[in-house]
Amino acid sequence: MTRTAPTRQTRQRALIFEIVAATTSHPTAEWIHQEARRRMPRLSLGTVYRNLQILEQEGRIRAHDAWGRTTRYDADLSDHYHFLCAGCGAIFDVDKPEDGDRSVQALLREGGFFMTGHRLEFHGLCPDCARTGTRTTPAAH
């Protein structure tokens, strides 16, 4: 995603960013809308979507496609991985190993590639779903 120059900050955009930044649950636009309406009852879902897109274009948040069905948002811009639970659909942050991606970068360099970034996602069951044996729709993807 190419970053764009920051646009004029609106009250709506500030609130939406605040909501995304205050959670580690990687919320959906619908959840963000529900939370934002507690403070701005007239805020439309379309306004939330537009502002999420602007925040992503500005490089202030990241969008993640979860199971190819819904987009989730993350304000943690640190270099980290994600674990997607096939049972409950939750997304969890996973710290990168200390050596990071050096071995992958070396392999790509040897092949003549120049890596500018990547995204690594792990799929499976979170501890709660593994314990209960829960599997819902996301497992099919």
Which domains occur in the chain, in start order?
A: 1-76 (1.10.10.10), 78-141 (3.30.1490.190)
Matching residue, tokens 């649950």? 25
Cα distance between residue 56 and residue 72, in whole Å = 12
Cα distance between residue 139 and residue 141, in whole Å = 5
Strands 62-66 and 70-74: antiparallel
Q: What is the pLDDT along the chain (141 residues), one digit of tens a residue?
A: 556 666 788 999 999 999 999 999 999 999 999 999 999 999 999 999 999 999 999 999 999 887 677 899 999 998 889 999 988 888 999 988 777 667 777 888 888 988 887 778 899 999 999 999 876 544 333
Contact indicator for 19, 74 with CB cutoff of 8 Å? no
Strands 80-85 and 121-124: parallel
Cα distance between residue 23 and residue 28, in whole Å = 11
Retrieve residue 80's tokens: 């980290």
pTM of the model: 0.77
